Structure formats: structure tokens, C-alpha cells
A and B are shown apart, each in its own frame.
Chain A
Amino acid sequence: MGVGIIMLVHTAFGRAEQVARHWAAAGCPLVIHVDKAVPRKTYDAFVNALSDMPDVRFAKRHRCEWGTWGLVAATQDAAKIMLRDFADVRHVYLASGSCLPLRPVQELIDYLAKRPHTDFIESATTADVPWTMGGLDQERFTLRFPFSWRNQRYLFDKYVALQRILRFKRRIPNGIVPHMGSQWWCLTRQTLSAILQDPERDTYDRYFSKVWIPDESYFQTLVRQYSRQIESRSLTLSKFDYQGKPHIFYDDHLQLLRRSDCFVARKIWPFADRLYQAFLTDQAGAMNRTEPNPGKIDRIFAKAVERRTRGRPGLYMQSRFPVEGRENGLTCAQYSVFEGFSDLFENFEPWLAKMTGMRVHGHLFAPERAAFSEGQTVMNGALSDSAALRDYNPRAFLASLIWNTRGERQCFQFGPRDKQKIEWEIAKDPNAQISVISGAWAVPLFKSNRNFSDIRREAALLQRVESKHLEVLRSQWTKARVRIWTMAEFIEAPMEPLQTIIDEIGQQNLRGLAEVPRMTDLSGFGQFLQNLKNQGMHPYLMGDFPIEHRLHEPQQNQRKPYLVR
């Protein structure tokens, strides 16, 4: 004998009774506190149900609203009864009705018997822990909190604000240092009685009754005055979500709980029949002994909190629709946008796909349809190539495409002929790598067999569109990695920029580019530009092209297509 259990109950009395009997069967005396909010009838029935147990006491009932003094008062009263009535008790374990012993109670008794002077209570100074809710860490000890956080939130917030304005500060009595921690502890008789019989207890009680969430700080602070040996951890496994509310365990956590190294878990869903069945069996051997792996539990619940607070970057869905600026990534993965390359190089898309292993699309935002790779009409995620569907919400289109193809880098062509509505989304996206050869849109015009007046009109339009687009790319809001070359600049030494882009994409290709894309024949392009100028339309985005382009002259004598070296 040596461990007594204080049990705080406010709901699920059937389960509480079951657990109480389990504790008692191992020889642990119990003092049970039932919330005053519980109707008399329910309370009487519960007391009656446990009336056959000799070592069960019921403490005076307090109203236990979350975060209020009632919980501490209830614990104090129950502890007093425990210490008075059960002289054999060496350790007092504070548990709740929804706690479930994970290991045979005898193991807990043995464990504590081996550490007769150790107090197990999580106790840390406020400065050192990140768990605090609502930004109230040190302030919870220096302000007053007469209003309920749950039911009178408005008054609660206003009163805190008022006290901040007035610079109101409470004095912490006797220079104690406030500590905080899980309210589920296990203290030795010596420590607990010292706290309860402290001559200054009235002072402390008065002070803590106005502190916010005293059940997480009263014992945690005072234990520092008396304890001979504190082990600052809770023997109760309890995980909290981002609102500071305990996570609940269900049947499907059975394997996980078996691997916990804690003695008790909280909080269990009252209808988790399998859990109660598995852990409340008498035989110690009934429990499958597995190597404890508490890290796994930590990970699962930490992930849940992160899912709730940060979500999956680049995902837009029914329950994650961030306002602008809070997306935490406009898209979920990096992708590349090439502007002008497929105009300048004849086989750019297949070449790029071969060199980098990326998925290379054509002009995804072309006016006719989204040109998916390999001419597909539907892409990953059943994304349609319909221009109307895409233009209905281009941003969703792009985000979906990148999301649907997670694990495979996407790359697409863009240019002034395309729908421009998406340009800001791409420019603002740090995941985008944008490479532009400005003015290359003139090459298809140069190659086309159209009337020159049409060409001139179109050239003027495309130049206007691209020039506006370049302004966007050079704006202060642009977060994408942007590289812009004029066409003249680019064709002077094409391999260098190509190598840079591909290195940045970071594929395996370390030996340099084995193969080069085929540049279209540009002889006569200089004259073409001059003709446009002669017609009063000044193409300036492609840089300075001499009328006779020396670089390209020799190739007229060659039969092989021009290869860039």
C-alpha cells in the first residue's frame, strides 16, 4: 500500500466508477470529488454505486469551471481527507474521471515505492515554456481574473485590457516564483501536507484564487518551497491542442497507448469501449508488453496541431482558404516558367524534358486551351484543358496543377499571346522560377506568312503586353526568382543562361548539358526588325539587333541545322 488516488469527476460516471474499481482492486484508496454542477440525483446514484467500496471517500463538492479556483479548492479538500483517513498512503496521485491507467496499477505502486521522496509534478517558470494561451504568461500572475474566459470572454478581455492600460500589477506574496505545469501530479505525503498545513496558506490561497488557471500553477509553484526532490514531469500522458484543450483518445489509439511509457492517459472518450476493455483487465499479463515508444504519440499530436495552425502549403480546399498573405506558400512546390524559349528554339520542350526529367507543358495559358504536355486534354487531378474552366479561376487552376503533381516538377511556357491574368500570381510566388527572353515573340511573326500590316499590328500589341508583364516581374512585390535577357543578349551566348537555369532546377545533370536545343534560323531577323521600325513600330524588347547579324551568317553555307555551342 502506498498510493492514494484523488479523482476529479464531472461527467461519464459509468466510466469513472469502472476506473475507481480498477484502482481500488489494486489496493489504492480513493477520494473522489464530484463537480457541484452535477445534479444531486446523478451524484447520489454515483455515490450509491460505489457504496460497497470501503476505501472510497467523497470530498466536499465545489464548482469546477475550467480555469477557476474551484478545481484547486476541490483538490485541497480531497487531499486533506486522503491524508487524514489513509495513514499508509505515501504518494497521492491526482487523476480525473476520464483518466485511464495504461499499465498495471501494481507497476505504478512499485515504481513509486522505489522513489519514496520524489514528487512527480511538471513545474516550470513561465518564461521558459511556450504553452501559454492567449498571450498571458507572466500576466496571469500579476493581473486579476474575476470573469470566466469561457462564458464571459468579452468582459474577460476588456478587463485584462483595462488593467494593462492602468498598469495594474498584483504583488506576488512572499517572493514566491510562479511555476506552471500540467495539473495532473503525484506528490508525496510530506510535500502535500507541508503545502496544506503551511501557516501562510491563507495568503497563498487568496492570491492564487485570482490568478488565471490556478490549477496549473498553485501546486506547481508551492511545491518548489517544500519538495526534497522534484521530478518535473507528469506521470499522466496528456496532449494538448493549439487551444490548450486536451486531445481525446479513441479506440484506434490502442496500439499507440500500449507504446506509451506513462502510467495513466488522459483524456479517454467515454465510449471508447475497446480501450477500457484492454486496459482495465485484471491480469497484468493481459496487456501486451511492447517496447515503449512515446515519441510516436508526440509526433502524431504535434502534427495535428501543425495541421490546424499552419496547414498544408499550397493547398486550397473547403476547410483551408487563407486570406491573401496568409497562404504560407501560394503553391506547394517549385516550378519553372519559360518565356520566349520555345519561340527561339525549335525543339525546346522535348529537349528540356529530356535534360531535366521535368514535366514540360506548352503554353498553359494559351487562349484556345491549356496546352498540357504530350497533348493531353486532361491532366493529373482530372484537370481539364478547357480555356473557360481555366480562366474562370486561373489561380486555382495553377495551384491545383502544382498540388496534383506533387513530387514531379512542373514547367510551362508563357508569353504575351497568353492570358495574362495569372501573371501576378506567378510573380508573387516564391516557388516560381521565371526565365524570360524578352522580344522572342517576334520570331514566330518573322517566320509567319502574313501580311506585313497584320504583323505590325500584332507586334505592337505583343510588345505592349510583354512590356507591361516585365514591369510586373520587376516590381517590388515580385517574390519569384526572375531572370530576364533581351533576345540579342541571349543569343550571344545561349548556353550559359540555359546552364544556369537548369543548375538551379537542381536535377542530377552535373556534367553539363550533353545536348543542346536547336535554335531557329534567324538570318534576316535583323532586317525584319528594321522593316518594323521603318513602318513606325519600334521593337525594343529584343535589344539591339544589327541588320546584318554576323553571328548567323556562316550557317547559310552549312547544311546541318544550327547548333548552339
Chain B
Amino acid sequence: MGVWQSYRMRLRRKRAKARAFRKHFSLTPVANRTEKIRPGDILLFSTLRDEHIRLPYFLKYYREMGVSHFLIVDNDSTDGGAEYLAQQDDVSLWSTKSSYKRSRFGVDWLNWLQQKYGHDHWTLVVDADEFFVYPFCDTRPIRALTDWLDSSQVKSFGAMLLDMYPKGRIDAVPYQAGQNPLEIAAWFDPGNYVIAKNKFYGNVWIQGGPRARVFFPDAPKKAPALNKTPLVKWDRRYAYESSTHMLLPRGLNLTYDEWGGEKASGILLHAKFLDTFTAKAAEELTRRQHYSASVEYKAYARTVQENPELWCKWSEKYINWRQLEILGLMSKGNWA
């Protein structure tokens, strides 16, 4: 990397930091319990809007995994989710009515919170419909993973987004609060992903899955990116550049091996396609607060009206992380 390039990288990182600073004025603390955070705690950061129904299970899932504190930005929810979160002992809540899009889909807000509270902690950035799975997650708490990463001097851990969907119509089974959404959205595409390398940021760019297969069969380039780096040993100098797809400094994006070996990696089970999705897609269409003028949601709305079924004969039913490992979607790497 030349001097000029690394300087450009630095500028980008500084710009992301400046944005985070600028946008943090729109955050109002609702419940700040960050004084409870102890050194070594694993922290979860999230932005959400109208996800009340998902929250009980979401919190339970990550509490059991060993997350100590949740730092959440509520973007103008109207379904009572904010009040629910404010009552939780291990949640610190900020609220904002500002534009989700103009905070680069929440990245600026979270970059700020991570800079302020995440320094020297392992931080997990996920949405309310994303469930993190890592090797041995059924027998080892997340602390085992982060300890191991620490001892291997690894600072970031990749986890690809895996879209989960139900068999039959998306809206056939109504989701109940507290229920494991993966009971309904239990299926996924096991082997139709394409990978390219982003030479500038050094991350891999993954597309594919049911969204490419059903919503973008004729325009694969528009299909959403699935690569994510949600788990990072945060330093106040770091910044997410675009959602959790890319990080700066870009060395953090090297969560893959280029010499034939496999690094350890996880999966974010993306339980987006529940009955709640149809309404959400319609709303997002009018709000236009999502990526690239909500092109994704336009495609969804079109297809979902016609045939809201993502399931196909070759869909695989989710069992556990070992299944994902055998399928080659994630890897144990060197961890045994």
C-alpha cells in the first residue's frame, strides 16, 4: 500500500469519525446504564425501529450467549419497544427521530457509541433480526471465543449473513413475542453464494442466497451484500465504513485466509422473513430510508405480492452450527 493510498484510507476513517461526532447530537439518552459496564465485558450495539415483538427473544438469545450489556439506538419506534427496552437492567437506550438513511443506516450513531463505550471491549453489532452463531456456540459461551481470539491476537471476526425463511408463504405463520423466530424461518440456501474481493477495502463481498435467487435473478449485481464483520475488539480509532460490511482501518476486514487455509468464522442467521416482513416492506417503500433508494424493498414488494415463497426443493433446514460448518458456510478454522 502506497503512502497516498494509506493517506486516503486515513481520510476516510477520519471522515467516518467526524460524521459520527456530528450525528451524535441527534441522540437523546433515554436510559444510560453504561456505568455498569465492567472491563472485559462483551457489549452488543444495535439500531432498531418498531421491533418490539422481536425484542424479548433477541435479548434472551444474547444474554444466554454471554453478552453483558446492550447499547441500543431506537429510531423513532411507535410500537412500545423503546419503553420495553428502557426497563431492562442491562440495556442502555438512546433515541432519535433523525433520518436513518442520513446517519448512513445507523452506522454513524453506533460508531459514536462504540467510540465512547466500546473501547477495549469486544463489541458485537447486530440487528434485532440477526442471530450470531459461532463455532461451538452450543457448548462454549461467547467469552470463550473472544478469549481465544485475544490469545490468537485476532481483532475481528467475520460472520456471513444467512437469510432464513419459512417453508410456504412468508406470512403463513404469525410470529409471537418471545418465540424463537428460527422455529418459523428455519430454512436457508446452502450453496449458491458468490464471492469477490474488494481490493480497496480488502474485504470479501458476498452475494447470493434466497434474495438473489428470488428477488434479483436478472440483476445479480443489485443483490444485497452478505459479508459482515460483527464482532470486533473495539478501539476508539476504529470505524465501520458501510453497515457492518466494511471496517477501517482495513486490516480488520481480513477475516479470511488467502493462502488456501480457513480462518474461523461464524454466521448471522437473518430471520427477516417472517409474517412481519410484508408490512415492513410496504412501510419501507414509503419511508425510503434504506440502501440505494430501498431498491431491495422495491424488489421485495413486487415479488412478495405475487409469490411470497422463498422455499425451494433444495432448501436446507437449520439444525446447528456443525451443519453450517459441514456445508462450508462457516468454519472452525484452527479452533478445536
Contacts and interface: CB of A to CB of B under 8 A. Distances in A.
Interface stretch (B23-31, B89-97, B114-122, B211-219): B211-219
Nearest to A271: B143
Nearest to A380: B314
Contacts of A247: 336
B192 A319 contact: no
Interface residues on A, range: 35 or more
A549 B206 CA distance: 54
B193 interface: yes
Contacts of B259: 322-323, 326
A323 B144 contact: no
B18 interface: no
Interface string A304-323: 11011111100111111111
Given A245-B152, A311-B260, A322-B258, A271 B144 contact: yes
A163 interface: no
A510 to B, nearest CB: 33
Interface residues on B, range: 35 or more
Contacts of A271: 141, 143-144
B333 A250 contact: no
B315 interface: yes
Interface string A77-99: 00000000000000000000000
Contact of B191 (A243, A318, A326, A400): A400
Contacts of B2: none
B139 A319 contact: no
A159 interface: no
A404 interface: yes
A381 B314 contact: yes
A323 B143 CA distance: 32
In the complex, the 8 A-B pairs of residues with the closest C-beta atoms, listed nearest first: A381-B191, A308-B334, A319-B265, A304-B336, A382-B189, A392-B220, A252-B139, A386-B217
A379 B192 CA distance: 9
Given A310-B260, A317-B328, A319-B330, 7 more contacts: A307-B331, A318-B159, A321-B256, A322-B257, A326-B260, A388-B219, A389-B213
B136 interface: yes
A38 interface: no
Nearest to A391: B220
A303 interface: yes
A393 B256 contact: no
9 contacts: A271-B143, A307-B331, A308-B334, A317-B262, A317-B331, A326-B260, A381-B192, A382-B210, A382-B315
Given A381-B189, A388-B220, A396-B195, A252 B262 contact: no
B313 A378 contact: yes
Given A382-B312, A388-B219, A305 B334 contact: yes
A152 to B, nearest CB: 14
Contacts of A388: 217-220
Contacts, number: 176
Contacts of A328: 260
B140 interface: yes
Contact of A307 (B191, B227, B255, B334): B334
Contacts of A380: 191, 314
Interface of B: 136, 139-141, 143-144, 147-148, 151-152, 158-160, 189-197, 204, 206-207, 210, 212-213, 216-221, 227, 255-265, 312-316, 328-336
A241 interface: yes
A319 B255 contact: yes
A327 interface: yes
A392 B264 CA distance: 27
Contacts of A307: 261-262, 331-334
B195 A384 contact: no
Contacts of A184: none
B8 to A, nearest CB: 23
Nearest to A377: B312
B263 A404 contact: no
A381 B316 CA distance: 8
Interface of A: 241-243, 245, 247-248, 250-252, 269, 271, 300-301, 303-305, 307-312, 315-323, 326-328, 376, 378-384, 386, 388-389, 392-393, 396-397, 400, 403-404
Contacts of B195: 316-318, 321, 393, 396
Best-buried of B190, B258, B312, B328 by chain A (most CB within 10 Å): B328
Contacts of B207: 392
Contact of A382 (B140, B160, B213): B213
B219 A318 contact: no
B139 A250 contact: yes
Nearest to A301: B336
B279 to A, nearest CB: 26
Given A318-B158, A400-B192, A400-B193, A250 B144 contact: yes
Contacts of A269: 144, 147
A248 B147 CA distance: 10
B262 A308 contact: yes
Contact of B336 (A243, A245, A300, A310): A300
B204 A321 contact: yes
B218 A403 contact: no
Contacts of B314: 378-383
B260 A304 contact: no
B266 to A, nearest CB: 9
B152 A320 contact: no
A328 B330 CA distance: 19
A247 B334 CA distance: 9
A393 B196 contact: yes
Contacts of B196: 393
B151 A304 contact: no
Nearest to B316: A382
B191 A403 contact: yes
B251 to A, nearest CB: 14
A319 B336 contact: no
A323 B217 contact: no
Contacts of B158: 318-319
B219 A319 contact: no
Nearest to A400: B191
A320 B212 contact: no
A404 B313 CA distance: 14
Contacts of A378: 213, 312-314
A393 B263 CA distance: 23
B260 A250 contact: no
Nearest to A386: B217
A21 B261 CA distance: 42
A152 B107 CA distance: 35
Contact of B257 (A305, A311, A376): A311
A248 B260 CA distance: 24
A546 B257 CA distance: 57
Nearest to B136: A252
Nearest to B143: A271
A562 to B, nearest CB: 38
B140 A250 contact: yes
Contacts of A303: 336
B229 to A, nearest CB: 10
B334 A323 contact: no
A307 to B, nearest CB: 6
B333 A319 contact: yes
Best-buried of B191, B217, B256, B315 by chain A (most CB within 10 Å): B191
A315 B332 CA distance: 14
Nearest to B263: A319
B334 A241 contact: yes
B143 to A, nearest CB: 6
A419 to B, nearest CB: 14
B202 to A, nearest CB: 11
B257 A382 contact: no
A321 B143 contact: no
A316 to B, nearest CB: 6
Contacts of A321: 195, 197, 204, 256-258
Contacts of A393: 194-196
Nearest to B190: A381
A319 B227 CA distance: 10
B262 A389 contact: no
A312 B191 contact: no
